């Protein structure tokens, strides 16, 4: 609704010079309208002031209209880097365009940076006022998504603990659906969907690895369907009993006599890594049960996915899968460290992106999962 209100505001039209012909005016009005529709989907939108009939800008508008956001973003970056030929107002337009794309991706910090870059330019007061408002909106978004930000002060990594040590080489994943015959079950369609998401998550890790000059890890995902023979409750899933109850059922289905035997044969005696993921569609909160740092014989390490997101928030699933897997390989949460609020803001362990493809592994998580050196951080990295 808000976007129509914005279109009616006379401010939007101010940038169109009076000397423009009617046809040009109509064209830009159309482009501006399309941009507003396209870009205001995520909430408050900056007012687009088309700073001139620049063909590059038209190309950006065309790309956005066609849904090629990544290309539009790349073009804005290229234009901002390549020339001083643009006026401050034009540069600001490019930055605002970038900012709106970032907002759609939920990369609020990057949008705020774009706003700050615009404010550093020599722009007219009325335009500055609008950008300041826009920046305030962005800041408000950042501030309103911090439910657990102040729980911790340092980063407790679990690097190289357990049997999922580093996200490298060949990784055997056991993906186990839990069903209780009562009310927690999985339809074939739901399982197929989860499998598709899991493919997205593993593919994403392979792409991210390349950013760190790592050979892409190979994932070999095996799916199992476990009838627990009892009611699945949040308490049980979180209890120590859970693994003692579930492991024998899984081993029986896999045809192994012990967890150790299963581990050794599945990993070729430790040549491969093993990641265990349980998935119950109970509406609860996902968690990872990782091995403590110094333990040498810890074998109980798994992820518990319990997602309410199946029906309403499907976009979350691959991000939750990837997030919890990172825990198995040693990464810690960043979203609950106070000093990480403005640090590694696109990292999967800190903020959710609009889609997994926009999320990143920042150097701190890369370090934790074995992809890079220890970075500097505005908080303590416990070893
Ligand atoms: Zn987490």
Q: pLDDT tens digit string along 91-105?
A: 999 999 999 999 999
Residues with Cβ within 8 Å of residue 371, at least 6 apart in sequence: 166, 167, 168, 209, 212, 214, 361
In angstroms, what is the span from residue 333 Cα to ligand 1's centroid?
A: 5
Transcribe 296-349 into DSSP letters.
Answer: SS----EEEEE-GGGTS-GGGHHHHHHHHHHHHTT---STTBGGGTTSSTTBTT
In angstroms, what is the span from residue 117 Cα to ligand 1's centroid?
A: 32
Can you give the pLDDT at residue 80?
Answer: 93
Give this prediction's pTM: 0.82
**Cα 288 to Cα 243: distance, rounded to the nearest angstrom:** 13
In angstroms, what is the span from residue 143 Cα to ligand 1's centroid?
A: 20
Transcribe 253-268 into DSSP letters.
Answer: HHT-SSHHHHHHHHTT
Residues 346 and 225: beta-carbon distance below 8 Å: no
Q: What is the pLDDT along the chain (383 residues), one digit of tens a residue?
A: 332 233 333 333 333 333 334 444 444 444 444 444 444 443 333 344 454 568 889 999 999 999 999 999 999 999 999 867 789 999 999 999 999 999 999 999 999 999 999 999 999 999 999 999 999 999 999 999 899 999 999 998 777 766 777 889 999 999 999 887 666 678 888 889 999 999 999 999 999 999 999 999 999 999 999 888 777 788 888 888 888 889 999 999 999 999 999 999 999 998 999 999 999 878 788 888 877 666 666 767 888 888 665 556 788 899 999 999 999 998 999 999 999 999 999 999 999 999 999 999 999 999 999 999 999 999 998 77
**Cα 337 to Cα 347: distance, rounded to the nearest angstrom:** 13
In angstroms, what is the span from residue 319 Cα to ligand 1's centroid?
A: 11
In angstroms, what is the span from residue 359 Cα to ligand 1's centroid?
A: 14
In angstroms, what is the span from residue 285 Cα to ligand 1's centroid?
A: 10
In angstroms, what is the span from residue 327 Cα to ligand 1's centroid?
A: 7
Query: 88-104 vs 69-82: helix axis angle to the nearest 10?
Result: 150
In angstroms, what is the span from residue 244 Cα to ligand 1's centroid?
A: 23
In angstroms, what is the span from residue 279 Cα to ligand 1's centroid?
A: 15
**Cα 96 to Cα 83: distance, rounded to the nearest angstrom:** 18
Can you give the pLDDT at residue 121?
Answer: 95
In angstroms, what is the span from residue 223 Cα to ligand 1's centroid?
A: 23
**H-helix or E-strand spanning residue 137:** helix 125-143
How do beta strands 218-227 and 170-179 pair? parallel
Backbone angles phi, psi at 153, to 5 degrees: -115, -20
In angstroms, what is the span from residue 18 Cα to ligand 1's centroid?
A: 55
Can you give the pLDDT at residue 115?
Answer: 98
Distances 146 to 67, 119, 344, 352 between C-alpha atoms, Å:
30, 26, 15, 11
Burial 73-101 (b: 16+ CB within 10 A, else e): bebbeebbeeeeebeebbbbbbbbbbbbb
Query: 188-211 vs 317-328: helix axis angle to the nearest 10?
Result: 60
Which residues pair with residue 154 across a beta bridge?
Answer: 380
Structural domains for the chain: 15-44 (no CATH), 48-143 (1.25.40.10), 154-381 (3.40.390)
In angstroms, what is the span from residue 246 Cα to ligand 1's centroid?
A: 22
Angle 317-298-300 (CA atoms, 0-180°, nearest 5)?
40
Taking Cα atoms as reference points, which of 228, 262, 257 lies closest to residue 242?
Answer: 228
**H-helix or E-strand spanning residue 7:** helix 2-8
In angstroms, what is the span from residue 158 Cα to ligand 1's centroid?
A: 12
In angstroms, what is the span from residue 336 Cα to ligand 1's centroid?
A: 9
In angstroms, what is the span from residue 211 Cα to ligand 1's centroid?
A: 22
Can you give the pLDDT at residue 85?
Answer: 78
In angstroms, what is the span from residue 238 Cα to ligand 1's centroid?
A: 15
In angstroms, what is the span from residue 215 Cα to ligand 1's centroid?
A: 25
In angstroms, what is the span from residue 53 Cα to ligand 1's centroid?
A: 48
């Amino acid at each position: 609704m808000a976007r129509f209100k914005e279109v009616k505001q006379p401010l939007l039209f101010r940038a169109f010079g009076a000397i423009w012909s009617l046809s040009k005016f109509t064209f830009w009005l159309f482009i501006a309208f399309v941009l507003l529709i396209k870009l205001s989907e995520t909430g408050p939108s900056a007012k687009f002031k088309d700073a001139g009939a620049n063909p590059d800008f038209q190309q950006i508008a065309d790309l956005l209209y066609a849904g090629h956001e990544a290309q539009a973003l790349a073009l804005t970056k290229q234009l901002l880097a390549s020339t001083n030929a643009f006026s401050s107002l034009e540069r600001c337009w490019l930055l605002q365009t970038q900012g709106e794309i970032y907002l759609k991706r939920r990369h609020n910090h990057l949008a705020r940076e774009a706003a700050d870059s615009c404010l550093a330019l020599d722009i007219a007061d009325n335009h500055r006022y609008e950008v300041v408002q826009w920046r305030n909106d962005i800041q408000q978004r950042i501030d309103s998504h911090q439910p657990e930000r102040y729980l911790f002060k340092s980063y407790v990594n679990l690097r190289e603990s357990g049997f999922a040590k580093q996200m490298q080489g060949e990784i055997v994943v056991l993906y186990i659906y839990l069903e209780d015959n009562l009310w927690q079950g999985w339809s074939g369609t739901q399982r197929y969907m989860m499998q598709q998401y899991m493919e997205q998550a593993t593919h994403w890790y392979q792409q991210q690895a390349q950013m760190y000059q790592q050979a892409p890890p190979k994932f070999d995902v095996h799916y199992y369907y476990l009838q627990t023979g009892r009611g699945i409750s949040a308490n049980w899933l979180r209890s120590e009993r859970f693994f003692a109850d579930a492991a024998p059922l899984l081993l029986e289905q896999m045809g192994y006599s012990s967890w150790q035997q299963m581990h050794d044969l599945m990993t070729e005696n430790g040549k491969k890594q093993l990641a265990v993921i349980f998935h119950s569609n109970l509406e609860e909160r996902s968690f990872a049960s990782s091995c403590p740092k110094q333990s040498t014989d810890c074998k109980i390490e798994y992820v518990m996915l319990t997602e309410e997101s199946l029906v309403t928030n499907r976009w979350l699933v691959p991000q939750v899968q990837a997030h919890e897997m990172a825990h198995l390989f040693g990464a810690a949460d960043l979203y609950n460290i106070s000093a990480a609020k403005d640090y590694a803001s696109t990292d999967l362990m800190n903020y959710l992106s609009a889609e997994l493809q926009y999320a990143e592994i920042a150097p701190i998580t890369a370090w934790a999962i074995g992809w890079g050196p220890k970075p500097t951080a505005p908080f303590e990295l416990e070893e």
